[in-house]
């Protein structure tokens, strides 16, 4: 099969329709799982301590974990195929392909010799076949997602791909599965912008090289670097490799200069680097180099992020590109950690509620150093980073190799065999996903259930009041929150006659139950009264107005010059402030209140907000909307019931005043909220 180059401009509307079936945004679509036992049928045939960790069991364990947990049965199984020569040649040279083609016929001796031409890779007579299947699996996944047969998916493959280069195998990788998939999506489906997120703990230098000067593919990679002391020890893996020529700004490297990074480090980089840029870029497709050697217990990565973190990383990517998200396995060498991480990731793809991000710590000094450097290196390319601080002075620069750091990683290495961590918690999706409290004359949206007050509660309240209706509604809200607490209902939407009154009632009820409540207000006038300021709630109030500094740590007014209707400003506030605050606060319940008026967000931005906040509080969120805004019922319910939010388009630069105000607010709050930090502390201690 050949891929005719399709110029998007020349596509007829009817052709576009066949690529993106009209109802693929609204219909519930599933999660693809691609796996074939054949890819377990190659292994290291000689002694090589550097290569022995890349074993067939990596795949069987991952797949078995999905089967055992019941997740595999919930996925749509998609068969692999062999990549064609044309597919491989999208990224690799003919000479290299021809050379690899000969490996199945080589003697053991020849294979060893062939292997020696490359770094940290081995060949087996079946390697070539498996490498074709691995690349083909990624392409099958792209086909399933781009054609709208599934929403998202994961391909479990061996060999991995992100280290392989145009004419070289490297780091266990033969063909660059994800790079091939990106090119294929562009050529076959006219995808104009592809985002590749590489969360493997190694730098996918092969992917970087493939798209270095290409602005249509944004490559983001974080990787263990240790000031170039960690494999592959490349100068070009550092933060200052930003891409070349037209591709300048479209290569983002976040070096980890220490081991032991935790969930808070990963989430900080997502909030302050990847997400703002990714939303500004507005991809048509997201591919993930899903390596799990970045999880705790991995002998290569030596990091401390728990498998649970992948639930959130995945969730945070699920509303880009209208949900078109393809995960392709790369590394991951601790079989326990790998199996758990794969399950956690697939479970998020399936839409199950994410676990609470328990005892999240802020990023460590080394992370802050890297984040500051990356943001500074990219601020001339991305308006969302325009306000970023200067790179730190050279004495804290990531380029300076400090002697004690080798010592530190040495210590960690000693202990790396007996790292333990708790098993990821069970994530139980409540029987009811989305309950609505809306007038009888408003249709119940698809996938939702009307919430009816239990009889006993109803009679009690009507007896007490003449305005039975309003009170019934308020009792319904508190009852609904009660059902969420019991995990009978995941989330809800209520049309109320007075958002403030409803909010106050629910807050009183929820805090009486000793729940931590995150209150997010949008579109109001910023004068919320009667909110507790004692830490039982955290309120973030995003509204039209001029900057004011918060009076306390738990009530945070976020003022935007033109209100939430300015999507770029809202995005800036969401990624830079709201999400980090929300993650650090770790609520048991999210209340999202939309005040009536003109300062409200666009429908798409509102849906993004609803979806993104759904990653907190095990998905327990109650959305309050003013009674007359009936047009919001459908889009809000759609996001609450798990449909990906629409794309916001390539975001323009936010209003300069907003950027400056948000920045000042962030600096003011970062003493109390460590996940807000994006630069090294002047007198920071190293043990943060």
Q: Quick one: what does residue 231 bind among Zn ion, ligand Q7Y, none, with the CB cut-off 5 to 8 Å set by partner type?
A: ligand Q7Y
Q: Is 162 in the site for Zn ion (CB under 5 A)?
A: no
Q: Report CA 675 to chain centroid distance, whole Å.
A: 16
Smallest distance, Zn ion to C-beta of residue 150, A: 26
Residue 577 per-residue DSSP state: I
- Asked if residues 461 and 472 have their Cβ atoms less than 8 Å apart, the reply is yes
Half-sphere exposure of 8 (CA within 13 A, CB side): 11
Q: Return the number of the residue (92 or 188) whose C-beta is nearest ligand Q7Y.
A: 92
C-alpha to C-alpha distance for 207 and 236, rounded to whole angstroms: 12
Q: What angle do CA 481, 485, 486 make, to 5 degrees?
A: 120
Of 421, 223, 359, 297, the closest CA to residue 675 belongs to: 359
Nearer to ligand Q7Y, 407 or 656 (CB): 407
**Least distance CB 178 / ligand Q7Y (angstroms):** 12
Question: Do the Cβ atoms of 31 and 151 come closer than 8 Å?
Answer: yes
Minimal distance, residue 409 CB to ligand Q7Y, in Å:
13
> Nearest-5° angle of CA 118, CA 91, CA 63?
75
Binding partner of residue 554 among ligand Q7Y, Zn ion, none, CB under 5 to 8 Å per kind? Answer: none
Cβ burial, residue 459 (10 Å; 0-12/13-18/19+): exposed
Quote the strand ranges of 74-183, DSSP E. Answer: 76-77, 152-155
Residue closer to Zn ion (CB basis): 336 or 497: 336
- CB of 330: closest distance to ligand Q7Y in angstroms? 5
Catalytic residue among 92, 163, 272, 543: 163
291 belongs to the binding site for Zn ion (CB under 5 A):
yes
Which residues contact ligand Q7Y (rule: CB under 6 A)? 50, 120, 160, 163, 171-172, 200, 202, 231, 291, 293, 300, 330-331
Site size with Zn ion, rule: CB under 5 A: 5
Alpha helices in 227-334 (DSSP H): 263-269, 275-281, 309-317
Is 293 a binding residue for Zn ion by CB under 5 A? The answer is yes
Report the C-alpha gap between 100 and 634 in whole angstroms: 53
The binder of 585, among ligand Q7Y, Zn ion, none, by C-beta within 5 to 8 A per type, is: none
Return the number of the residue (63 or 120) whose C-beta is nearest ligand Q7Y. Answer: 120
DSSP-assigned beta bridge partners for residue 221: 198, 253
Single out the residue of 255, 260, 323, 331 in contact with Zn ion (rule: CB under 5 A). Answer: 331
* Residue 298 interacting entry, from ligand Q7Y, Zn ion, none, C-beta within 5 to 8 Å by type: none
Residue with Cβ nearer ligand Q7Y (50 or 488): 50
Which long-range contacts does 500-503 make (Cβ < 8 Å, 24+ apart)? 500/528, 500/595, 501/474, 502/473, 502/474, 502/477, 502/593, 502/624, 503/528, 503/591, 503/593, 503/624
**202/543 with CB nearer Zn ion:** 202
CB of 42 to ligand Q7Y, least distance (A): 15
What minimum distance in Å lies between the beta carbon of 376 and ligand Q7Y? 28
Indicate which of ligand Q7Y, Zn ion, none lies near residue 644 (CB less than 5 to 8 Å, by partner kind).
none
Our answer to whether residue 163 is catalytic in this structure is: yes
CB 222 to Zn ion: min, Å:
11
Helical axes 127-146 vs 94-101, angle rounded to 10°: 130
Helices 335-349 and 309-317 meet at what angle, rounded to 10? Answer: 30
Q: Which does 658 bind (CB under 5 to 8 A by kind): ligand Q7Y, Zn ion, none?
A: none
Candidate segments 35-43, 91-99, 196-204, 422-430, binder of Zn ion by CB under 5 A: 196-204
50 binds, among ligand Q7Y, Zn ion, none (CB under 5 to 8 A by kind): ligand Q7Y
User: Least separation, in Å, of the C-beta of 229 and ligand Q7Y?
Assistant: 11
Nearer to ligand Q7Y, 96 or 231 (CB): 231
DSSP-derived pairing of the beta strands 448-450 and 489-496: unpaired
Crossing angle of helices 57-68 and 335-349, rounded to 10°: 50
For Zn ion, the nearest residue by Cβ is: 331
| DSSP structural state of residue 552 | B
What residue 37 binds from Zn ion, ligand Q7Y, none (CB within 5 to 8 A, per partner kind)? none
Question: Does position 54 bind Zn ion by CB under 5 A?
Answer: no
By C-beta, is 204 or 264 nearer to ligand Q7Y?
204
The residue of the chain with the least Cβ separation from ligand Q7Y equals: 331
Pick 36 or 200: Cβ nearer ligand Q7Y: 200
Helix, strand or coil, per DSSP, at residue 315? helix
- Contacts within 8 Å (CB) and 24+ apart, 632-637: 632/594, 632/603, 632/606, 633/436, 633/438, 633/442, 633/445, 633/493, 633/495, 634/445, 635/603, 635/606, 635/607, 636/493, 636/606, 636/607, 636/610, 637/434, 637/436, 637/445, 637/446, 637/447, 637/448, 637/493
Task: Give Dmax over CA atoms of the chain in angstroms.
Answer: 91
Site for Zn ion in 633-652 (CB under 5 A): none
- Please report how close the Cβ of residue 232 comes to ligand Q7Y at its closest, in angstroms: 8
Give which of Zn ion, ligand Q7Y, none residue 238 binds (C-beta under 5 to 8 Å, depending on kind).
Answer: none
Chain contacts with Zn ion (rule: CB under 5 A): 200, 202, 291, 293, 331
Catalytic residue IDs: 163
């Amino acid at each position: 099969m050949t891929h005719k180059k399709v110029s998007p401009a020349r596509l007829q509307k009817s052709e576009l329709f066949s690529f993106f079936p009209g109802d693929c945004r609204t219909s519930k679509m599933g999660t693809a799982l691609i796996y074939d036992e054949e890819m377990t049928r190659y292994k290291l045939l000689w002694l090589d301590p550097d290569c022995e960790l890349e074993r067939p069991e990596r795949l069987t364990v991952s797949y078995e974990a999905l089967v055992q947990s019941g997740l595999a049965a919930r996925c749509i199984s998609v068969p692999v195929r062999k990549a064609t020569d044309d597919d491989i040649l999208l990224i690799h040279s003919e000479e290299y392909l021809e050379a690899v083609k000969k490996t199945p016929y080589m003697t053991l001796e020849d294979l060893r010799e062939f292997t020696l031409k490359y770094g940290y890779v081995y060949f087996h007579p079946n390697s070539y076949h498996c490498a074709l299947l691995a690349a083909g699996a990624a392409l099958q996944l792209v086909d399933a997602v781009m054609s709208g047969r599934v929403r998202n998916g994961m391909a479990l493959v061996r060999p991995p791909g992100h280290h392989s280069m145009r004419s070289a195998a490297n780091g266990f990788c033969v063909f660059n599965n994800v790079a091939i998939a990106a090119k294929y999506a562009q050529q076959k489906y006219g995808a104009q912008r592809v985002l590749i997120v590489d969360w493997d703990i190694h730098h996918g230098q092969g992917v970087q090289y493939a798209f270095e000067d290409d602005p249509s593919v944004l490559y983001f990679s974080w990787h263990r670097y240790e000031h170039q002391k960690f494999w592959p020890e490349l100068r070009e893996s550092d933060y200052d490799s930003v891409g070349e020529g037209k591709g300048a700004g479209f290569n983002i490297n976040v070096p980890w200069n220490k081991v032991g990074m935790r969930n808070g480090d990963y989430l900080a980089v997502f909030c302050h680097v990847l997400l703002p840029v990714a939303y500004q870029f507005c991809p048509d497709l997201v591919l993930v180099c899903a390596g799990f050697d970045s999880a705790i217990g991995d002998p290569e990565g030596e990091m401390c992020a728990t498998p649970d973190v992948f639930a959130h990383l995945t969730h945070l990517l699920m509303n880009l590109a209208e949900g078109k998200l393809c995960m392709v396995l790369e590394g991951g060498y601790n079989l326990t950690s790998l199996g758990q991480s794969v399950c956690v990731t697939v479970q998020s793809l399936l839409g199950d509620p994410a676990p609470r991000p328990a005892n999240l710590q802020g990023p460590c000094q080394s992370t802050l150093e890297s984040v500051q450097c990356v943001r500074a290196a990219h601020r001339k390319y991305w308006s969302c980073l325009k306000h970023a601080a200067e790179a730190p002075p050279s004495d804290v620069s990531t380029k300076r190799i400090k002697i004690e750091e080798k010592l530190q990683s040495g210590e960690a290495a000693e202990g790396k065999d007996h790292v333990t961590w708790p098993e990821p918690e069970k994530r139980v999706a409540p029987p009811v996903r989305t309950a609505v409290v809306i007038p009888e004359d408003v249709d119940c949206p698809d996938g939702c259930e009307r919430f009816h007050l239990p009889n006993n509660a109803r009679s009690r309240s009507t007896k007490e009041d003449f305005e039975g209706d309003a009170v019934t509604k308020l009792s319904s809200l508190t009852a609904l929150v009660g059902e969420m607490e019991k995990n009978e209902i995941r989330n809800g939407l209520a049309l109320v006659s007075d958002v403030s009154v409803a909010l106050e009632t629910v807050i009183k009820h929820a805090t009486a139950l000793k729940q931590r409540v995150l209150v997010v207000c949008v579109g109001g006038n910023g004068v919320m009264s009667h909110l507790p300021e004692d830490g039982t709630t955290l309120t973030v109030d995003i509204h039209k107005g001029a900057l004011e500094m918060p009076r306390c740590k738990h009530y945070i007014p976020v003022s935007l010059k033109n209100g939430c209707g300015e999507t770029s400003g809202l995005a800036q506030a969401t990624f830079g402030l709201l999400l980090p605050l929300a993650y650090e606060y770790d609520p048991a319940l999210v209340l999202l209140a939309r005040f009536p008026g003109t300062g409200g967000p666009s429908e798409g931005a509102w849906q993004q907000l609803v979806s993104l906040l759904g990653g907190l509080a095990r998905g327990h969120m109650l959305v309050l909307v003013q009674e007359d805004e009936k047009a919001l019922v459908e889009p809000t319910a759609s996001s609450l019931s798990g449909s990906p939010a629409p794309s916001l388009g390539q975001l323009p630069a936010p209003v300069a005043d907003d950027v400056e105000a948000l920045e000042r607010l962030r600096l003011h709050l970062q003493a109390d909220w460590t996940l807000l930090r994006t630069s090294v502390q002047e007198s920071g201690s190293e043990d943060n």
